[in-house]
Amino acid sequence: MGDRERFRCRNRIDAELQTYVDGFADVSDIDSLPTYVAYAALRDGRILVGDERTVEERRQRLRAEYERTEPDRERERREFIDRLARGET
């Protein structure tokens, strides 16, 4: 399935799921998300598809990657704040 069709399918699933939940629902392809977003989704979200062993392995890999890249995210955050302060954004 191509990227465009995958996107359309996820949107249809999002719309259908939204009718059954209070609040916000988002269906995401974990493999297509940045590490910090995928980590938060697996940490805080509800998994709809995937066997528990595979999901737990992915969760552990993402946690390790998230922790490994924390200094980079912090540096980027500080640089962004500095650019804001200088009026460069």
Tens of pLDDT, residue by residue, the chain (89 residues): 888 998 888 888 888 888 888 877 778 888 888 999 999 988 888 887 778 898 899 999 999 999 999 999 999 999 999 999 999 98
Tell me the Cα Rg of the chain: 17
Which structural domain range is residue 12 located in?
A: 3-86
CA distance 34 to 10: 17
Provide the number of structural domains found in the chain. Answer: 1
Q: Residue 89 contacts by C-beta under 8 Å, 6 or more apart in sequence?
A: 80, 83
Q: Residue 42 contacts by C-beta under 8 Å, 6 or more apart in sequence?
A: 30, 55, 58, 59, 62
CA distance 23 to 45: 13
| pLDDT at residue 66, as a whole number | 94
| pLDDT at residue 17, as a whole number | 86
